[in-house]
Amino acid sequence: MSKSFEVIERMGISTESISIAVKELISEAGFTKKVEWFEIIDTRGRITSEGKIEFQVKVKIGRKL
C-alpha cells in the first residue's frame, strides 16, 4: 500500500459561505482521486461589482498516490 501522498493547493470560491466554498472544492478534487485530508491555509474575500460578498478559501489537499 502506498505511503506517498500528492499535495495540491486550490482556491474555493462561493458567494454563500466559506463552508460551501470548502465543501465544493473538496468534492471537485475528489473526482479524480480520493481526498485523504485537507488544511485551510488562507481565507479572504472581496466585494463583487454587483455588491455581493465573495468568499475565497485556499486549501491544501492530500491524496494518496
Give residue 39's pLDDT: 97
What percent of the chain is predicted at pLDDT more than 90? 89
* pTM of the shown model: 0.84
CB atoms closer than 10 angstroms to residue 28: 12
Q: pLDDT by residue (tens digit) across 29-40?
A: 999 899 999 999
> Domain range for residue 45?
5-64
Residue 7 pLDDT more than 80? yes
CATH code for position 41: 3.30.1660.10
User: How many domains does the chain fold into?
Assistant: 1
Instruction: Look at residue 1 in the predicted model and tell me its pLDDT.
Output: 60
Q: What is the pLDDT of residue 65?
A: 86
User: How confident is the model over 45-54, as pLDDT tens digits?
Assistant: 999 999 999 9
Q: Minimal CA–CA distance to 33: which of 5, 3, 1?
A: 5
